[in-house]
Structure 1
Amino acid sequence: METRREYATDTPRPGHYEIDPAGSTITFRTRHVFGLLPVRGSFAISAGTIDVVEPPAASRARVEIDAASFTAPSAARDKVVRSARFLDADRHPTITFAADRLGRDMPTGTLTVRGVARAVPVSIVAIDVLPRAFSVRATARVDRTAFGVTASRGMAGRHLDLVVEITCAQIR
């Protein structure tokens, strides 16, 4: 295991990196009950890759998120959100994010939820670089109705504010 050190660069060296699902997560914040109550929860990242190339802005990312991993403080709500009314995790078990251009200046990728693909801008907040690994912290705002997740209008929040934390290791 590598020791954490400060490096002069915030760009990982070129190569093919795999996302470590155990060291990566997506957390979210939204509102419930007519926008009065905050709801926090998470999704699990099941797999993914990042290809860092020169120039770094031309790098690519592919991330797979387990739709059934949706977790919030209420087991009853979790079951409803995973159901056909919201995520339809049985028919659409994987949520994907793909970006063909990555850079520090608000990269945009394609998020696919329930078979519906939409562009989503991502803000990279921090990058921690090691010799053969790196971690990234990014944020995004997603409008669930843009993906056909329209159940419980008024009761369930329309927007999810996401924090994505990914840890990667270089494999070649």
Structure 2
Amino acid sequence: MNTLIDISAGTYRIDPARSVCRLVATHAFGLHPVTGTMAVSGGTVTVAEDPERSIASAELDAASFTTDDPRRDRDIRGRRFLNTADHPEIGFRSTRCRRVADGWQLIGVLAVRGGTCEVVLDLSPAEAAGDGFRLVARCAVDRVAAGVGAGRPVIGRTVRVELDIHAVPVRARTGHAMAG
């Protein structure tokens, strides 16, 4: 399915109230996975007339990381892992968009803890959602390449990430100049 062509060309704002990032990390020895969430604090999606020229950005609130274990959450948000005191935001900026056999991919740069790495997001087909659209993007992140090297002997390198994004059109601003 052609995910992007089904969305009208234009610029859309990611709605933080209806968007979320889900993460799954595994134990290095194959024990149960750890699932967490992180708030999406903002971003934009610009759908071009030529879908391959579309771009996107997203920001995550690193301090919002949460799982079912408050102690683990404090550790992950702390200096050894995300270091949210010094790096409160995780960012993504696309560099290109490409059609693949089963849909679309968005390639870009992920910024974590002051470092960067390339990631490839697989996009699900967009769905109409009230005043905009919903899109799910999935990728695997090598957390060590992304700058989160703590926990190497215990935590697997790959973190599966799923962004569940709701985006609404950016309305053109209208206004009147004030007479001076």
TM-score by length of 1: 0.88
What amino acid is the match of 1:161? R
Contact (CA 8 Å) 1:11, 1:129: kept in 2 or not? no
What amino acid is the match of 2:57? R
Contact (CA 8 Å) 1:29, 1:160: kept in 2 or not? yes
Offset at residue 115 of structure 1 (A): 1.1
User: Which of structure 1's runs of 4+ aligned residues deviate more than 3 A?
Assistant: 129-132
Q: Distance in 2 between matches of 1:32 and 1:102?
A: 32
Aligned residues: 164
- Identity of aligned pairs, percent? 37
TM-score by length of 2: 0.84
Q: Distance in 1 between matches of 2:104 and 2:77?
A: 33
Cα distance per residue 1:53-100 (max 9 Å; x no partner)? 110121111101001011111100000000110001010101000113
Contact (CA 8 Å) 1:10, 1:127: kept in 2 or not? no
Residue 141 of structure 1: aligned partner: 140
Q: Distance in 2 between matches of 1:155 and 1:23?
A: 33
Partner SS state of residue 62, structure 2 = strand
Q: Distance in 2 between matches of 1:86 and 1:132?
A: 37
Residue 26 of structure 1: aligned partner: 21
- Structure 2: 5+ residue stretches without partners: 172-180
Alignment of 1:11-22 (within 5 A): 11-22=6-17
Provide the alpha-carbon RMSD of the alignment.
1.8
Residue 65 of structure 1: aligned partner: 60
What amino acid is the match of 1:113? V
Q: Distance in 2 between matches of 1:53 and 1:83?
A: 39
